[in-house]
Amino acid sequence: MVLSQKLHEVFKGTVERITGPRTVSAFKEKGVLSVSEFVIAGDNLVAKCPTWSWEAGEQSKRKSYLPASKQYLITRNVPCLRRASSVEEEYDAAGGEFLLGGDDDDDDNDGWLATHGMPKGTKSVDDEVLPSMESLDIRKEGAIKSIPSYFGGEEEDDIPDMADYKDSENFIEADPASSATLQSTYLVATEPEDDNILRTRTYDISITYDKYYQTPRVWLTGYDERRCPLQPELVFEDVSQDHARKTVTIEDHPHMPGKHASVHPCRHGAVMKKIIDVLISRGVEPEVDKYLFLFLKFIASVVPTIEYDYTMDFDLGSSSH
């Protein structure tokens, strides 16, 4: 962790300890949430999109200002069928603007709402090195093919041959932490008998309440095609390149062990305020229990390829009822 980041964490922690949680609503004025509003918005998300659940998390890490059983929200096993760079290329090709549009970038030079893709011709070497989308190829061919021969003779095939296993000693698979073997683990080298199954990265996405910024905060826990934990750095491949390493950083999760990628919340309030203003200008009265739906749409511009946004169909404010 960079020193300045570390110092800021210490500062933030101290402020969080000595200041009480927000109790007065400033949702429309500042785009932030009080603790109870976070719970209300979370309850609504869980009710409307039941793949999300509240978690209690580790007892030692619980925040006293949140209900014990509602410490953070999580949705698991969310597919990420391709890397963000490929989406950006398509996006550039289409020449469109992203989601909420970056109409006033002047005072938003962090690029939160900026148009999305990279200019053509600046494609980095990394794109070349990235493995081609095997999963996409399968998709293009249409349906997932039928079951492979692996199931055929039951006991012979289901139980790996013990003798073979003892002789070859090849069961310690390629080191996922080493960048040298990244590509081979990324591609499906390990289970050839299974290669008709669509293989894709998946994510567990969690939303915590950040007391300092008084906004929700999104965390990404990635798994590779073999369902092994993804090194947090590799998560950057699934993040819009405008945000990788800038607004998306790797930090300690407040409730879970280990380092996780997170969309830094320092601009969340301001961005949410803008979204809310846009809605109000269109005659929609935003309701606080819809906050997380709006919030997830905004997060979708940061992580364009992770398919968690199930909230599109829901009304966002009272006038649309």
Partner 1 sequence: YTAIRDPGRILQFDPFQSLVDEGFWHRLSSLKLDSLGLDQSPISLTGFYAPCSHSEVSNRLTLLAESLPPDPKQLESPLERVHGNRNRCPVPGTLYNMNTLESFKALDRVSLLKMEAQKVEEDSAVLLRFLVISFADLKKWNFLHWFAFPAVVLDPPAMILNIQSAKDALNQDEGQSLSAVMNEWRNSSLTTDVPFFLIIISSSHATVRHLKDWEACQHDGQKLLFGFYDPSCRATNPGWPLRNYLAFISLRYNIGKIQFFCYREKHGFADLGLSLVGEAAVSPPQDWREPQNIPKAVGWQPKPKNIRLAESMDPERLAVSAA
Residues within the interface to partner 1 (CB under 8 A) = 1, 6, 49-53, 58, 75-79, 81, 139, 143-144, 146-147, 150-151, 154-155, 158-160, 162, 166, 171-173, 175-177, 190-191, 193-194, 197-198, 200, 202, 204, 221, 223, 226-229, 231, 256-259, 307, 310
CB 306, min distance to partner 1, A? 12
Q: Of the two residues 253 and 274, which places its CB atom closer to partner 1 in the complex?
A: 253
CB 92, min distance to partner 1, A? 25
Q: Of the two residues 129 and 172, which places its CB atom closer to partner 1 in the complex?
A: 172
- Per the listing, tokens 């296993």 go with 165
Secondary structure string (H, E, C) spanning 146-191 = CCCHHHCCHHHHHCCCHHHHHHHCCCCCCCCCCHHHHHHHHCCCCC
Q: Of the two residues 34 and 202, which places its CB atom closer to partner 1 in the complex?
A: 202
CB 8, min distance to partner 1, A? 13
Q: Are 288 and 45 in contact (CB under 8 A)?
A: no
Torsion sign over Cα 248, 252, 255, 258: positive
Q: Of the two residues 188 and 276, which places its CB atom closer to partner 1 in the complex?
A: 188
Catalytic residues: 266
CB 26, min distance to partner 1, A? 31
Q: Are 253 and 279 in contact (CB under 8 A)?
A: no
Q: Which amino acid is at 77?
A: N
Torsion sign over Cα 162, 164, 169, 172: negative
- Per the listing, tokens 């005072």 go with 107
